[in-house]
Amino acid sequence: MTQIALIRHGSTAWNKEKRSQGQTDNPLDQEGREQAALLAARLAEESWDAIYASDLVRASETARVIADRLGIQEIHLDPRLREMGGGQVEGTTEEERVAKWGADWSSLDLGKEHSDAGASRGKAALEDILQQHPNGRVIVVSHGAVLRNTMRALVPELDISVKLGNTSITRMVHQDQAWQCELYNCSTHLE
C-alpha cells in the first residue's frame, strides 16, 4: 500500500485578489508561509519518505517549509504537477473576465488547458511516484485545479465539486491496483 498526501500550496496575493493564477509563477504571501508552517507541524506527527512538488514557486516554497520541518533534504520538482494553464484568463479576476469577454466567458476558447490534459499529466506524475515509492508515504505539493482533475481521473466516483483550500490535505491510498481517497480537503491545522 502506498499513501500519498496531496497538498495545495499556501496562499498568495492573487488568491486574495481572486485572480486566476494558472501557471503564472507567484510566490506565497505571508499568510501562505504561516499556513505552510502549520501544515508542516501537522505532517511532522507522521513519518514520510519523500516530497514531490510542482516547480512553480508557490508550491515549491510550500514544499520547502514542510521539508525543512520534516528533515527531508531533497524536494523532487516535477513540471507535470504545475497548475492548469489558464491561457488569456491568467492574471484576471471574474469581474475583469466578464467585462472583457461577457458573462459566458468560460464557454469561450481562451487558450485554457483542457481538464483532461491536466488530469493526464497529474495522473502520470502520481503513477511515476507510485513506481518510485512502492509501499511508501509521499507528500505531493501542487495546485487546486490540477489536483482535483487528477483525483477525478483516479477515483471517478469521488465528489471533487468543493475546491481545495490552501494547504489542505487530501489523502490518497493505492492498494490492490486501485486508488482510494481517505480524506478530502482537510484544513484542520489552520483552525
Domains delineated in the chain: 2-190 (3.40.50.1240)
pLDDT for position 62: 98
Q: Of the residues 61, 83, 90, 113, which is catalytic?
A: 83
Cα separation, 118 vs 131, whole angstroms: 20
Q: Of the residues 9, 61, 90, 174, which is catalytic?
A: 9
Per-residue pLDDT of 25-50, as tens digits, reads 999 999 999 999 999 999 999 999 99
Helix (H, G, I), strand (E, B) or coil at 106: helix
Q: Is 114 annotated as a binding residue?
A: no
Q: Is 101 annotated as a binding residue?
A: no
Q: β-strand 50-53 against 75-77: which pairing, if any? A: parallel
Q: What is the pTM of this model?
A: 0.96
Q: Is 107 annotated as a binding residue?
A: no
pLDDT for position 5: 98
Those residues of the chain that have pLDDT short of 70 are none
Amino acid, res. 143: H
Closest CA to 81 of 97, 107, 63, 96: 63
Q: Please state, as a whole number, how many other Cβ atoms lie within 10 Å of the Cβ of residue 99.
A: 11
Q: Please state, as a whole number, how many other Cβ atoms lie within 10 Å of the Cβ of residue 43.
A: 20
182 is catalytic: no
Q: Is 118 annotated as a binding residue?
A: no
| DSSP string of 51-88, one letter each residue | EEE-SSHHHHHHHHHHHHHHT---EEE-GGGSPPP-GG
76 is catalytic: no
